[in-house]
Structure 1
Amino acid sequence: MINVFAAEPEGLQQAPHEIRMLAAGHQVSVREVSLAGVRDKDGLMLAFLSGLGLTQTFGRNWDALYDVLTDPEQVSGRFALVLRDYDSLRRHRHLCAELEGVLLDAQQAAREQGRRLWLLAEEPDSDTRHW
C-alpha cells in the first residue's frame, strides 16, 4: 500500500493499517472518529464531539464542524482525520453526502492555508481507493 502521508492529501482515502506509526514518521497528528451506530446528524455530531475531543460548546452543525477542521488552533498543520466504521455511514446517503461535502471543503481550505488535512476512511479491504 502506498503511504498516504508521502503525498498531498487528496479527497477521502483509505486509512492505512499502521496509521499511527506512519503518521508519527511524517509528523502528522491523528484523531479518530467512530461512526459505528450513527444514524442521524445529531449522532454524527456527537461522534465528532467525542472523537475530536471538543467541548460541549461545539455547535453540532455543519458550519461548526467546518470551523473546527479549518481552525489552526484546533487542528495542527499536518492532521489526519480517521473515520472508523465509515461503511456503516454509507447506508445513510444524504447524511454521508453532506459530511463528505464539509470534509472536502475543509480539506481545500486547509490546502489554501498551507496546511494538510488527510481524510481517511477505515475500510475492511486493503486496496487503495479514492471516493
Structure 2
Amino acid sequence: MIQVFDEVPNGIQQAPHDCRITAAGYQVALREVDLTVVRDKEALMMAFLSGLALTQSFGRNWDALYDVLTDPEQFSGRLAVVLYDYTHFKKKNAKLCAEMDGVLLDAQKAAAEEGRLLWLLAQERESAGR
C-alpha cells in the first residue's frame, strides 16, 4: 500500500490510518483543523487559528491563511494539515469549502515551488480515532 507521505502532496487527499503516528515516522509536522462545528467564515478562521496554533495576530482572512501556510518562518519543510470532518463540512458549506480549498491548493502549489511539502488531508469523524 502506498503511503501518502511517500508521494509529493497532490490536492486534498485521504488521511492515512493513525495519521499522527504515521506523520511522526515520516518527520512531517502535523496540524489538525476541526471543521465539525464550522458554519461560517469567522468560525472557519477560528478553527485554523486554533488548529495551526497561530497567535491572535492572525488576520482571519483568506490572504492571512495563505500567507501563514506559505511562510517558511511559520512552517518549514514538511507539513500536513488534517481537515477533520471535511466531507460533512463540504456538504453543509459548499461555497465556503470551495473558497477554502482554493486557498489551500494555491498554498500547496506555492510551497512546492519553494521546495516545501504541504499535505492537505481529509479525515472523517468515524475514522478520526478521537
TM-score higher than 0.5 here? yes
Q: C-alpha distance in 1, partners of 2:76/2:122?
A: 19
**Distance between the aligned counterparts of 2:125 and 2:17, measured in 1?**
10
> Unpaired runs of 5+ in structure 2?
none
For residues 24-103 of structure 1, the aligned pairs below 5 Å read 24-90=24-90, 91-103=92-104
Partner amino acid, structure 2, of 1:42: E
Q: Does 1:8 align with 2:8?
A: yes
- What residue ranges of structure 1 are gaps of 5+ in the alignment? 127-131
Contact 2:84 2:125 in 1 (8 A): no
Which structure features the higher share of helix residues?
A: 2
Q: Greater RCO between the two (CA within 8 Å, min separation 6)?
A: 1
Deviation at 1:25, TM superposition (A): 1.7
| Greater than 6 Å deviation, 4+ residue runs | none
Give CA deviations for 1:12-55 in whole Å, capped at 9, x if unaligned.
00011111221122111100010111000000000000111111
State the Cα RMSD in Å.
1.4
Check if 1:17 corresponds to 2:10. Answer: no
Q: Give the whole-Å Cα distance in 2 for the aligned partners of 1:21 and 1:45.
A: 27
Question: Is contact 1:9-1:118 (8 Å) kept?
Answer: yes
Query: Structure 1 vs Structure 2: percent identity of aligned residues?
Result: 67
2:101 aligned partner, one-letter code: E
CA contact (8 A) 1:29 1:76 kept: no
Count of residues in correspondence between the two structures: 126
